[in-house]
Amino acid sequence: MAKTKEVFFCSECGYESAKWMGQCPACKQWNTFAEEKITISTSKGSQGKSVSKNYKAPQPMKEIKVTNTNWIHTKIGELDRVLGGGIVRGSLVLVGGDPGIGKSTLLLQMCGNLSESGHKILYVSGEESESQIKLRADRLGEFTKELYLLCEIHLEQIEEAILKLKPEVVVIDSIQTMLSSESDSAQGSVSQVREVTAKLMQLAKQEEVAIFVVGHVTKEGTVAGPKTLEHMVDTVLYFEGDRYGSYRMLRGVKNRFGSTNEMGVFEMVGTGLLEVTNPSKVMLEGKPKEASGSVVTCTMEGTRPILLEVQALCTQTNFNMPRRTAVGIDYNRVNLLIAVIEKRLHLQLGGCDAYVNIAGGIKVNEPAVDLAIILALISSYKNRSLSEDTIVFGEVGLTGEVRAVNMVEQRIKEAEKLGFTTCILPKANLRHQKENGNLKCIGVEHIHEVLDYIS
């Protein structure tokens, strides 16, 4: 016997409640509860039998043998970098991103490369027909017979196809379109997404098949559905970038098999996505010469140094409250650095509108760009430019001190490779540095020391 009852789920974190509430007690978000119907089994006897029948005895850790340790390489270096070296057999990977950003294109290119290497691949689509996917695939190139296509939304049919075909990699596009018969909820609901993900995770572990799941994102940029969705999967990848621009960034925010700090860069062209092997050169293309408010810095994305242009613009405000805008960097961090400039350098920015932008559409959270932001603001405020061959990085504290950053050698090598001759960095890092060829390193301890380098 089974009975149905109505419950309320939080669309953000999946919290369950018997009644509607304005604020979720778990994630503290407002107006996120949605009513759903769930089916509860009342047959206790049969449930107990199924548990005892499928009982698996615990095994000593020392006696467990690891099989299929070799990773599957996708032949897309940027994707392999973010995944931690390649695809792990039996893993469940969630790929999120804005509509039209290129998630399906990237995964279809991955499937094409894997099929050429002799791997059997199954691509499952719940949003497009066979002919639509075929048209997109023809633009990307030719595909072998090892790539199979299935347009289906019912999970039971997909599971049966996986068990019969025995593929090595499966792509589900998208998780919000899948339906499980064990849940009576609507397509894309919290309970439906959770039920489907749990089934796919169990299938991936039992059959040792790698499953990629595409997830839609909300207006806030997070994967739609309950937060438990991200906790259940092994890896979470986010595809970022302006859909109207040409460059895309792939970030790993969760990875049980590798680093979560790596980033892959792609360029969208007519034939699909191309890898950007030298993102520093790409990010600095079109940089203005001898312009005030423009400073080059270096940030670390995992083990990769990337040179970026920090742009700042200070103008006299026409309002009682000056305007502050930050693009690609934390808004509160910019306000903090402006306060440090006013207090420690006695520059009155309170009567100016301040705009800070990270050119290239990339988002930076590393504090090592603090010194570059401060120098860009001062450069714009005084209308004086920094030398073209100078790179700046360092963390800045509230007293104006310039603090040490990590992985300095990699940053310096990247700057020297692109032709920079001068590097302004924390003095604490300079003590541990060796001679760096033609690159002159200048150590600073306080932000007032950098004023001498603005012409």
pLDDT band at 157 (very low <50, low <70, confident <90, very high): very high
- Are 90 and 145 in contact by the 8 Å Cβ rule? The answer is no
If DSSP codes are grouped into helix, strand and coil, which group holds residue 337? helix
pLDDT at residue 427 above 70?
Answer: yes
Are 83 and 215 members of one domain?
yes
The CA angle 100-105-107, to the nearest 5 degrees, is 125
Report the C-alpha gap between 127 and 76 in whole angstroms: 25
Mean per-residue pLDDT for 94-123? 92
| 61 located within any domain | no
Q: Can you give the pLDDT at residue 224?
A: 55
Are 320 and 271 members of one domain?
no
> In terms of Cα–Cα distance, which of 401, 425, 385 is closest to 344?
401
In whole angstroms, how far apart are CA 333 and each of 170, 299, 312, 365, 370? Answer: 42, 16, 14, 9, 9
Q: Can you give the pLDDT at residue 227?
A: 64
| 181 located within any domain | yes
- Are 419 and 389 in contact by the 8 Å Cβ rule? The answer is yes
pLDDT band at 436 (very low <50, low <70, confident <90, very high): low
Are 224 and 318 members of one domain?
no
Report the C-alpha gap between 49 and 44 in whole angstroms: 9
pLDDT at residue 38 above 80?
Answer: no
Are 308 and 266 members of one domain?
no
CATH of the domain at 418: 3.30.230.10
Mean pLDDT of the chain: 87
| 59 located within any domain | no
- Pick left, alpha or beta for residue 419 (phi over 0 → left; psi -120 to 50 → alpha; otherwise beta): left
In whole angstroms, how far apart are CA 1 and each of 43, 46, 180, 250? Answer: 6, 10, 19, 47
Q: Can you give the pLDDT at residue 48?
A: 47
Last residue of a domain, one of 226, 260, 277: 277
Mean per-residue pLDDT for 393-417? 94
| 12 located within any domain | yes
> Using the 8-state DSSP alphabet, how is residue 56 labeled?
-
For the chain, give percent helix, strand, coil, nearest 5. 30, 30, 40
pLDDT at residue 186 above 90?
Answer: no
Are 187 and 246 members of one domain?
yes
pLDDT at residue 121 above 90?
Answer: yes
The answer for residues whose C-beta is within 8 angstroms of residue 302's C-beta and 6 or more apart is 81, 259, 261, 262, 263
Are 344 and 240 members of one domain?
no
The answer for residues whose C-beta is within 8 angstroms of residue 228's C-beta and 6 or more apart is 13, 14, 194
Domain hosting residue 258, numbered range: 69-277
Report the C-alpha gap between 214 and 101 in whole angstroms: 12
pLDDT band at 2 (very low <50, low <70, confident <90, very high): low
Burial 353-385 (b: 16+ CB within 10 A, else e): bbbbbbbbbbebebbbbbbbbbbbbbbbbeeeb
Q: Can you give the pLDDT at residue 403?
A: 96
Q: Can you give the pLDDT at residue 194?
A: 85
**Segment 273-330, tens digit of pLDDT:** 999 989 999 889 889 988 999 999 999 988 889 999 999 999 999 888 999 999 999 9
Are 16 and 84 members of one domain?
no
HSE, side-chain direction, 13 A CA sphere, residue 223: 30
- pLDDT, greater one: 100 or 298: 298
**Segment 158-185, tens digit of pLDDT:** 999 999 999 999 999 989 899 988 877 7
| 58 located within any domain | no
Are 95 and 34 members of one domain?
no
Are 448 and 305 members of one domain?
yes
Are 401 and 292 members of one domain?
yes
Q: Can you give the pLDDT at residue 18?
A: 86
Are 298 and 272 members of one domain?
no
What is the count of structural domains for the chain? 3
> In terms of Cα–Cα distance, which of 313, 295, 303 is closest to 394?
295
Last residue of a domain, one of 244, 277, 310: 277
Structure pTM? 0.78
Q: For the chain, what is the total number of helices (H) and then of strands (E)?
A: 12, 21
pLDDT at residue 337 above 80?
Answer: yes
Q: Can you give the pLDDT at residue 46?
A: 46
Last residue of a domain, one of 235, 250, 277: 277
Report the C-alpha gap between 175 and 192 in whole angstroms: 9
HSE, side-chain direction, 13 A CA sphere, residue 294: 14
Asked whether the CA dihedral 377, 383, 387, 388 is positive or negative, the reply is positive
The answer for residues whose C-beta is within 8 angstroms of residue 364's C-beta and 6 or more apart is 299, 308, 328, 329, 358
Mean per-residue pLDDT for 243-261? 84
Mean per-residue pLDDT for 353-369? 92
Report the C-alpha gap between 341 and 373 in whole angstroms: 11
> Using the 8-state DSSP alphabet, how is residue 179 labeled?
B
Q: Among all chains, which residue has been given the structure tokens 């149905």?
A: 4
Are 289 and 267 members of one domain?
no
| 146 located within any domain | yes
| 364 located within any domain | yes
Q: Can you give the pLDDT at residue 39?
A: 64
Mean per-residue pLDDT for 335-353? 94
| 30 located within any domain | yes
CATH of the domain at 80: 3.40.50.300
Q: What percent of the chain has pLDDT over 90?
A: 53
Q: Can you give the pLDDT at residue 221?
A: 55
